[in-house]
Structure 1
Amino acid sequence: MPLLKNILLINLLVYFFFSSVGFSQHKTNVVLIGVYHFNNPGFDEGKMKDRNILSDENQQGLSRITDKLIKKYHPDKVFVEYDAAKNNMLNGMYALYQKGKPFYRADTLNAFYKRFYSENETFQLGFRLANKAGNDRIYAMDYDEVPIRFDLIKAKLQEKGVFTFADYQHKIAELEVFMNACLSKPKLEDVLLGLNSPEQYKLNKGLYISFLNRVNPATDFFGSDLVANWYKRNLIMYANIQNQTAEQDKNIVIIVGAGHAAMMEDFIKADTRFNLVKLDGVL
């Protein structure tokens, strides 16, 4: 009998020990939203059609999308593709937005930045969602200081000769055709569902793995270096998300370019702290 009591006591102590050090089965739900850049800056290799996010139809779409996100996975935190080093500045703008005040001065900006602050997804989707959720902060996670030398691809292809620059352009065109077909859909929900489909993720990752990684003259391993730097940028962005997510966060939303989302899907699936929520389960 004393032996049984001792065993029960030991089991009880083990239970309380693991409870006290945070041993938990809880995982944070992560809603991953890959988007096209609403202000269409034209910086990506694939060139997207313009779609006016300020139109009544798209504004209604944003309202529906954010309402659905709030209803199904009310976010504790919203992460956006904005320079993580400027998180405080971003939240200064967000505080003005919450109060219904202008958060930028259009009369002081050139045409590019007027479009950026009025149309970019950070503000149109991120600010709107975080505000509807009653969040007192929004979370920047971008890092764009890793050199990715797309400008050297033509010369490297001529040097290596595995395939031609025309082959590369054809690969980019494949992605453009798919992305622009998504952008042509009438409802904004369907645009985002297309951009977050397995087909888009495969095309996007395939450009790096099945194509660019082979542009690899042995003297400098250009292709592998470019692909590694693309992974590095995304891993740093992802670390910025990981390190701003607390155990008590039940749901978070990540709003990021569709190319980044293709990478982050794999990271989230491999992360024991997170449970990936696909967008087609929300919209």
Structure 2
Amino acid sequence: MKNVALVILIEFLLVGCAPSIPERKQEFEIPQNPKYYNHQVMVLGSFHFQKSGDGSDVVGNAETEILSKENQLTIDSFTNRIIQEFDPTIIAIEWMPKYQGLVDSLYRSYKDGMWKLEENEAFQIGFRIAKSQGLTSVYCVDNRPIQPRSVLKMDDWEAYADSIGHRAKMEEYDSSNAAYNQYLDSIRMEMTIYQYLELLNSPDNISRNKELWFAGLVNLGHGDTYVGADLTGHWYQRNSRIFTNVRNLAQTKNERILIIYGMAHKWVLDEMFEASPEFEVIQPSEILF
């Protein structure tokens, strides 16, 4: 009984000495960045209108007849909707800055009625909107950094994965990711361009596309060689440079910037613009579809 009493006494003393929990949370005033800018940005994730010009790793088999009368009417209606709902003051496209002179020349010819728009989303969407808005240029903002050293020196990915016991981790999601890519490719021909762009920019699809970068290949790495993680980091590097190029286009403190890019870029560019105190991200899924 004495031992039991001693234990009860110790517990009573410990509880009595414990600090009390405040009834309400402490309020903190974390210093915030000043609002110097009030830019709006909308990243329109697109498929590449010209399959032969698709620079992605996964090139689809479906080919949409962009220049057909029906599709031209759809694109014209869609671009008018962007103008009505977003009213862009700057348009950025997935072209390297070294081609800015060529793009400017084509845009001038298009405005003068001397050149017909070709099968490229930068032309079909970007040029149409720029002309209607009276913009002087459509800006090339892409960047292609050199791949990480770990990737460049990797001769045999499978052999390396086997050597560190990561083959199963690397290939674990291959079948489901392949099914996802095939689904996007196959369903394109069953939809209008408007419907397909709605699908690509839907929150569910953007979330699923992001998973490609964080399931499977990203796990391939050991010691000082992390080729999978380095590729994901390389994707962030490329898109952070695109972010910088876009930011530096702003001429006033209240721009509305339309970015027309391959859909795979959308989730990471959205992340970066959402993190910036200078931008409000407008989602196509909320105002266009």
With the shorter chain as reference, the TM-score category is 0.7 to 0.9
Secondary structure in 2 aligned to 1:60? helix
Structure-1 separation of matches of 2:183 and 2:94: 23
- Within 5 Å, give how 1:90-169 maps onto structure 2: 90-102=103-115, 118-147=118-147, 149=151, 153-164=157-168, 167=172, 169=174
Rate the CA distance shift 1:131–1:182 in 2: closer, same or farther, 3 A: farther
Larger Rg: 2
Rate the CA distance shift 1:186–1:224 in 2: closer, same or farther, 3 A: closer
Match of 1:225 among 224, 230, 252: 230
Structure-1 separation of matches of 2:68 and 2:39: 34
| TM-superposition CA deviations, 1:47-79 (whole Å, max 9, x none) | 322222112222111101110011111111111
2:265 aligned with 1:260: yes
Assess if the C-alpha contact under 8 Å between 2:90 and 2:258 holds in 1. Answer: yes
How large is the RMSD of aligned CA atoms in angstroms?
A: 2.4
Secondary structure in 1 aligned to 2:118? helix
Assess if the C-alpha contact under 8 Å between 1:80 and 1:122 holds in 2. Answer: yes
Which residue does the alignment assign to 1:192?
197
Assess if the C-alpha contact under 8 Å between 1:182 and 1:194 holds in 2. Answer: no
Q: How big is the shift at 1:25?
A: 6.6
Q: How big is the shift at 1:166?
A: 5.2
Structure-2 separation of matches of 1:167 and 1:122: 36
Structure-2 separation of matches of 1:127 and 1:176: 29
Paired letter, 1:158:
D
Assess if the C-alpha contact under 8 Å between 2:90 and 2:255 holds in 1. Answer: no
2:221 aligned with 1:209: no
TM-score normalised by L of structure 2: 0.77
Structure-1 separation of matches of 2:164 and 2:100: 42
> Percent same amino acid at aligned positions?
24
| TM-superposition CA deviations, 1:114-136 (whole Å, max 9, x none) | xxx82111111111111121111
Structure-2 separation of matches of 1:120 and 1:155: 39
Match of 2:244 among 239, 243, 256: 239
Paired letter, 2:101:
N
Which residue does the alignment assign to 1:273?
278
Q: How big is the shift at 1:219?
A: 3.6
2:34 aligned with 1:29: no
Structure-2 separation of matches of 1:159 and 1:122: 44
Rate the CA distance shift 1:229–1:56 in 2: closer, same or farther, 3 A: same
| TM-superposition CA deviations, 1:15-64 (whole Å, max 9, x none) | xxxxxxxx657522212100011101354233322222112222111101
Which residue does the alignment assign to 2:27?
none
Q: How big is the shift at 1:233?
A: 0.6
Paired letter, 2:161:
L
Rate the CA distance shift 1:220–1:194 in 2: closer, same or farther, 3 A: same
Structure-1 separation of matches of 2:136 and 2:282: 23
Rate the CA distance shift 1:153–1:265 in 2: closer, same or farther, 3 A: farther
TM-score normalised by L of structure 1: 0.79
Q: How big is the shift at 1:91?
A: 1.2
Rate the CA distance shift 1:265–1:155 in 2: closer, same or farther, 3 A: farther
Rate the CA distance shift 1:185–1:272 in 2: closer, same or farther, 3 A: farther
Which residue does the alignment assign to 1:65?
78
Which residue does the alignment assign to 2:59?
47
Paired letter, 2:39:
T
Structure 2 stretches of 5 or more lacking a match? 1-33
Rate the CA distance shift 1:218–1:174 in 2: closer, same or farther, 3 A: farther
Q: How big is the shift at 1:222?
A: 1.1
Structure 1 stretches of 5 or more lacking a match? 1-22, 104-116
Paired letter, 2:45:
G
Assess if the C-alpha contact under 8 Å between 1:61 and 1:189 holds in 2. Answer: yes
Structure-2 separation of matches of 1:118 and 1:156: 43
